[in-house]
Every structure is written in structure tokens, then in C-alpha cells.
Amino acid sequence: MIGALQTGLLDSPYSLTEARVLFELAQSGLMETGELRGLLGLDAGYLSRIMTRFEGDGLITRERSASDARKQIVRLTPAGAQIFADLDRRSGQEIERLLAALPDEDQKRLVSGMATIRALLGPPERREPYVIRPPRPGDLGWVAYRHGVLYGAEYGWGTDFEQLVARIVGDLDLSRDAGWIAEVDGQRAGCVFCVRVDHKTAKLRMLLVEPSARGLGIGRALVRECLRHARSQGCERITLWTRDCLVSARRLYQAAGFELESQEKGVDNGVEVTEELWSLDLKATS
């Protein structure tokens, strides 16, 4: 679709590989041929033929390295720089044409999908910091959706669980209750809500951390934010409901000082579950 497999890239006389060579030379200013060959994974003979063609077309100059006569230094001529600039401009126009037919939301989905491919198949990258923010329009729908998808995939829970979460979301009163959304690199990565039960009691609800963001401390930060808010509102006690299979979440609750109050057997989508009620005395831990 983007023309990378055509004989001439972007209706030019240059192949994708030749365009990549021009790109690297344009970025570096000058480069040793061995470095260029290693960077692009090219056969020495193939690169030599490309260099010979470029030199014949007046696109590059080659000279021996002053520090090592065995090495050859290559740089673009003004004509070569102009050829690259033209290819770069055409590439931008082609991508612009492809994206112009998509509404903004689909453009965001496309970019997000490409970022996911890079993250999954590329080399490990430095983990991005996260931010914790209040909910915005669209976040509540995402909360119900991700609970249904994630817990359905990981634990086999069905639509009954998703409907339960949707009811909890629908009952939120954000003039009284509070919530937080975690973001990593601009993408939603987690959530939690503090729901007011009465003037002395709050409930921690809908804690979720995306698998791609686990290990960053997001869950701990969300729980801490929920407890801070409950204390600031004068609550003396906070409770939560969970299931015993949610091992990582239970560890977070225990680390925060919650204690298990009761357990009850149940079934979700044919899967046996153990429902649990946990609580924390905010007065004792303030």
C-alpha cells in the first residue's frame, strides 16, 4: 500500500534499499562504508554496486579515511541531498494522502496499532514514566470495556462481570465520588475509584492495571491515591471487594494495610470464584 515493494520507490528510479542508503547518509552527513553496511545489513558487493551507481549519478563522493586508508568515507553531494529531500517530501505526501481518508479517531487507532507492533517486536525500550489524572470524557466507557476484555481473557469471566462493572460505572457520582486514570506514554494504562458509602465509609472500586504497564508501580500509586482521598474526605474506614485469584491486587491491598474480613464461594461464567471482602481502618493507619 505504501509502495515499498515497487521497483521504483515513490515513482523514483531508486529501490527501497537505495533510498535507505540515501536516508542514512542524509542523517549522518558522512559515513564509513563498513558502518553503513552493518547498519543496513547489506552484502558488501551489493552496497558497492549501489555506491558505484550513486557516484556515477553524481549523488555521492567517496574518499579514503585520513585515519585508516583501508576505510572509505561516503557523503552526499548537493545533488544527492536534493534527491533525498525530494523522496522525503513525496513520502510525507503519500502518508498524508493515506491518512486523509481516515477520521481523527481512526488515525489515532492506526498510530497506536503501529506503536504496539514496535513495542512487541522491537528491542526492549526504557519504560516510560506514568501520570495519574482525573477521569475525562470517554474514560468511564473505557473502564467498563477494559474490565470486560481483560478479565474475560485472563480469567474466563463472562458478560455478567462486565455488566456488574458497567453498573458500578453507571452509579458513579463524580461530584461525590472520585476516580483516577493512569497513563503511560499518553495511553490509558490503569484506573481506580473511591466511592463514598456514607459519611464515615468509602469503597475502593475497579482497580485495574493493563498487562503492558504492570511492574511500574502503577497499582500501588492508584491505591495510595484512593486512600489519600478517602482520608482527606474524613472517612474512617474503607472497604473493597475482590476475588482470591487476583493475587497481585491482593498483595497491593495487604501492603496498604487492608485486612481480609470474609470470603464467599461463587460462580462466574461457569468458573468457580471466591469472593472476598477486605477493609482498612483509616484512623489506625493515618
Which residues are CB-neighbours of 92 under 8 A, at least 6 positions away?
Answer: none
**Cell numbers standing for residue 218:** 502503577
Is 204 part of any domain? yes
53 in the same domain as 185: no
Return d(Cα 265, Cα 185) in angstroms, integer. 39
Q: Nearest CA to 40 among 17, 61, 62?
A: 17
State the pLDDT at residue 183. 95
Q: Nearest CA to 214 among 169, 255, 182?
A: 182
Q: Single out the residue in 50, 84, 101 at which a domain terminates.
A: 101
State the pLDDT at residue 185. 83
Q: Would you state the torsion angle of the CA atoms of residues 191, 126, 129, 144, taken in this order, to the nearest 10 degrees?
A: -10
Which pLDDT tens digit goes with each residue over 117-138?
A: 887 888 766 556 899 999 999 9
Q: Single out the residue in 83, 101, 119 at which a domain terminates.
A: 101
249 in the same domain as 195: yes
Q: Single out the residue in 82, 101, 120 at which a domain terminates.
A: 101
164 in the same domain as 88: no
> What CATH code is carried by the domain that includes residue 178?
3.40.630.30
Looking at the 3D structure of the chain, how many domains does it have?
2
- Residues 158 and 152: beta-carbon distance below 8 Å: yes
State the pLDDT at residue 126. 58
Return d(Cα 210, Cα 214) in angstroms, integer. 6
State the pLDDT at residue 283. 87
State the pLDDT at residue 128. 60
Is 260 part of any domain? yes
State the pLDDT at residue 120. 82
170 in the same domain as 254: yes
Is 64 part of any domain? yes
**0.75 cut: is pTM over it?**
no
Is 119 part of any domain? no
Is 136 part of any domain? yes
264 in the same domain as 154: yes
Is 115 part of any domain? no
144 in the same domain as 240: yes
237 in the same domain as 167: yes
Q: Which three-class secondary structure string do you get for 223-257?
A: HHHHHHHHHHCCCCEEEEEEECCCHHHHHHHHHHC
How do the pLDDT tens digits run along the chain, 286 residues long? 766 676 667 778 888 889 899 999 998 888 888 889 988 888 989 999 999 999 999 999 998 887 777 888 999 999 999 999 999 998 888 888 888 888 888 888 888 888 788 878 887 665 568 999 999 999 999 999 999 999 999 999 999 999 999 999 999 999 899 999 999 988 899 999 999 999 899 999 999 999 989 989 999 999 999 999 999 999 999 999 999 999 999 999 999 999 999 999 999 988 899 999 999 999 886 5
Domain that holds residue 28: 9-101
253 in the same domain as 213: yes
157 in the same domain as 47: no
267 in the same domain as 147: yes
Is 116 part of any domain? no
171 in the same domain as 210: yes
Is 3 part of any domain? no
State the pLDDT at residue 50. 93
90 in the same domain as 137: no
Strand partners, 278: 240, 260
> What CATH code is carried by the domain that includes residue 33?
1.10.10.10
